[in-house]
């Protein structure tokens, strides 16, 4: 039996941490759209509410109350998050239920991660 160390493969759609390898142009465009969508405090809070909601999904009817904005404004912010690939929505009767997309959140987290460098002793 060989004791050769095998490389760790990233899941499809993931990117290498920015601190280890420069982004490709395509990754930079995709990730910039995600970060741009999250640059608004209402959208950031909406994503947080959806991701932390019981069962991993939230009805649009439950998302407007915590904000001091109109329902059309909430709908606009949800559309921006959906177009950025951060959430998905499914219509059920009158209401739309939104879910955060774990792969997108993982991708953002991986990009900003310095865990590999810290464990290697490069970051202190």
**Domain coordinates in residue numbering, the chain:** 25-118
Return the CATH number of the domain spanning residue range 25-118.
1.10.10.10
Distance CA 72, CA 77 (A): 9
Average pLDDT of the chain? Answer: 82
Q: Give the model's pLDDT for residue 24.
A: 87
More confident residue, 98 or 12: 98
pLDDT tens digit string along 63-122? Answer: 988 999 999 999 999 999 999 999 999 999 999 999 999 999 888 888 887 765 444 444
Please tell me the predicted confidence (pLDDT) of residue 120: 47
Q: What is the pLDDT of residues 37-48, one digit of tens each?
A: 999 999 999 999
Q: In sequence order, what E strands does the chain have?
A: 57-59, 87-92, 95-100
């Amino acid at each position: 039996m060989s004791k050769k160390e095998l490389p760790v493969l990233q899941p499809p759609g993931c990117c290498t941490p920015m601190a280890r390898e420069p982004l490709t142009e395509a990754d930079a465009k995709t990730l910039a759209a995600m970060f741009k969508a999250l640059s608004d405090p209402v959208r950031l809070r909406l994503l947080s509410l959806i991701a932390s909601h019981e069962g991993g999904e939230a009805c649009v009817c439950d998302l407007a109350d915590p904000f001091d904005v109109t329902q059309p404004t909430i709908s606009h912010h949800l559309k921006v998050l959906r177009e950025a690939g951060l959430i998905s929505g499914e219509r059920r009767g009158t209401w739309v239920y939104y879910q955060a997309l774990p792969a997108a959140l993982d991708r953002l987290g991986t990009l900003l991660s310095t865990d590999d460098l810290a464990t290697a002793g490069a970051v202190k």
